[in-house]
Structure 1
Amino acid sequence: MKPIQDKNTQVKYLKERLEIFLEVLEAIDEETAGIEDIDRLIKMIDDIEEKIEQFKQRS
């Protein structure tokens, strides 16, 4: 996959990832959420943070 260099494309990518995160977060039932669910959310945030750092380095 070709690295995303364009700032607008980077922002669009991050917005899409955050939308997915919010959808997953909203779908989790706080009454039955387990460690796996929380770990999945943390992994998603870590992936987004990693991508932000990659984008910073390409600037």
Structure 2
Amino acid sequence: MGNAVRDKDSQVRYLKDRLNMFVHVLDSMKPENTDLEDIDRLITMIDDLEAKCEQFKKDKE
């Protein structure tokens, strides 16, 4: 995706950007048109965000 994110400020910025992207996707969904594939995509986004949080936490230690 780009350069490695090492310093704390960059990590926080990265996480905020990814979370904003998730919120944008969520806001753009219409419940009546949302299917299981869309829900799976949201779950994947959250899983990826959680994995990145864990990676940043390990990098800090």
- Distance in 1 (alpha carbons) for counterparts of 2:3 and 2:14: 13
Once superposed, what is the RMSD of the aligned Cα atoms?
1.0
Name the TM-score, length of structure 1 as normaliser: 0.94
Q: Could you tell me the percent identity over the aligned residues?
A: 51
Residue segments in structure 2 that go unaligned for 5+ positions in a row: none
| 1:1-59 mapped onto 2 (5 Å cutoff) | 2-59=3-60
The 4+ residue runs of structure 1 with deviation greater than 4 A are: none
Q: TM-score, normalised by structure 2?
A: 0.91
The separation in 2 between residues aligned to 1:56 and 1:40, in whole angstroms, is: 24
Between stretches 23-32 and 2-11, larger displacement belongs to: 2-11
| Letter of the 1:16 counterpart | D
Distance 2:4 2:50 in 1: 16
Superposition deviation, residue 32 in structure 1 = 1.3
1:28 Cα shift?
0.7
Q: Which has the higher helix share?
A: 2
| Structure 1 residue 3, shift from structure 2 partner | 2.9
How many equivalent pairs are there?
Answer: 59
Structure 1: give runs of 5+ residues left out of the alignment: none
